[in-house]
């Protein structure tokens, strides 16, 4: 797990998961250091992750005023309830559907929920966050935002890409990835995470990219990609190819059994027998 300061106002709390056959998937959360500090997503829901402790290394959790939940999947909500306890003034920014989905696992304190729909905005003291629906998403509750203080776009899962190494997955710059590899990985992720994209009219889908072209963010912060600086046009061109890219077909049971067989440990090697010194042949002495 690593931490990166990107630009003036954003800290990335980066984690990852290995994905067999694909590489490593970045899992980011973010801190927007606004006058009213904003935490964007809260990391993995795994018992060995301590999101609150990691957050405390970059800001006092008690100062957090907003928790923007881009959608309520388990790789976005790991530290949510611990942060709510540590940040008594913080409110959760989500949608009606997002609040409903979260409440199937554990009820949200509704007096601390702030419902915000795509097309609406939120004033956080020194800048405005403009909510929008990213062109690719895997949840009906997905809402990203563009903030006008530093021209940064927080895109939820959109623009994600598996990385070939753990170092790149937790890195500070998506531009460090070979351009061809990044293009292929982003199309793979689009097919995996948003399979519906192969069933829509390509022209209507590409029209949904226009708002991001108009925003023209300098920084793109995806949960599943290292920070992307100055790559927006190139990445949008990649997303434009998503409807005609190859669909993703995951491993079936036969493939799973082969993978598991590859991880089965062999029989333990027998330790070498010790030979008493007086029995060692003279040539070996």
Query: What per-residue string of b and e applies to 46-65 under the rule 16 or more CB within 10 Å gives b?
Result: eeebebbebbeeeeebeebb
Mean pLDDT to the nearest integer, 176-186: 97
Q: Provide CB contacts within 8 A for 120, sequence distance 6+.
A: 131
Q: What pLDDT score does 260 carry?
A: 86
What CA–CA distances, in Å, run from 94 to 48, 68, 131, 137? 26, 7, 10, 15
Cβ neighbour number for residue 106 with a 10 Å cutoff: 9
What CA–CA distances, in Å, run from 26 to 112, 147, 262? 29, 22, 25
pLDDT in tens, 200-259: 999 999 999 999 999 999 999 999 999 999 999 999 999 999 999 999 999 999 988 988
Q: What pLDDT score does 269 carry?
A: 56
Q: What pLDDT score does 283 carry?
A: 45
pLDDT band at 285 (very low <50, low <70, confident <90, very high): very low
> If you compute the radius of gyration of the chain from its CA atoms, what whole number of angstroms results?
23
Average pLDDT, the chain: 92
The pTM (predicted TM-score) of the whole model is 0.89
In whole angstroms, give the CA distance from residue 121 to residue 240: 26
CATH of range 2-263; options 3.40.50.2300, 3.30.420.40, 3.60.15.10, 1.20.1250.20 = 3.60.15.10
pLDDT in tens, 77-111: 999 999 999 999 999 999 999 999 999 989 999 99
Q: What percent of the chain has pLDDT over 90?
A: 84
pLDDT at position 146 over 70: yes
Mean pLDDT to the nearest integer, 52-76: 96
pLDDT at position 282 over 70: no
């Amino acid at each position: 797990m690593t931490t990166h300061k990107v630009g003036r106002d954003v800290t990335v709390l980066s984690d990852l998961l290995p994905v067999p056959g694909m590489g490593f998937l970045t899992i980011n959360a973010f801190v927007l250091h606004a006058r009213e500090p904003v935490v964007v997503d809260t990391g993995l829901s795994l018992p060995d992750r301590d999101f609150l402790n990691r957050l405390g290394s970059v800001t006092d959790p008690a100062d957090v005023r907003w928790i923007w939940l881009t959608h309520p999947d388990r790789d976005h909500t790991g530290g949510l309830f611990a942060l709510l306890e540590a940040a008594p003034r913080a409110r959760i920014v989500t949608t009606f559907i997002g609040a409903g989905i979260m409440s199937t696992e554990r009820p949200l304190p509704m007096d601390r929920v702030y419902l915000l729909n795509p097309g609406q905005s939120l004033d956080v003291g020194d800048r405005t966050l403009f909510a929008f629906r990213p062109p690719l998403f895997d949840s009906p509750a997905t809402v990203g935002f563009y903030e006008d203080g530093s021209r940064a776009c927080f895109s939820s899962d959109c623009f994600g890409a598996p990385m070939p190494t753990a170092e790149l997955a937790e890195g500070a710059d998506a531009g460090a990835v070979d351009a061809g590899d990044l293009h292929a990985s982003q199309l793979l992720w689009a097919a995996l995470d948003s399979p519906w994209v192969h069933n829509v009219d390509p022209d209507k889908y590409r029209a949904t990219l226009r708002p991001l072209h108009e925003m023209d963010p300098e920084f793109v912060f995806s949960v599943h990609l290292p920070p992307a600086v100055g790559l927006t046009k190139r990445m949008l061109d990649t997303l434009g190819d998503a409807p005609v890219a190859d669909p993703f077909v995951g491993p079936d049971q036969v493939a799973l059994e082969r993978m598991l067989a590859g991880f089965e440990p062999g029989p333990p090697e027998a330790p070498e027998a010790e030979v008493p010194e007086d029995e060692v042949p003279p040539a070996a002495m």
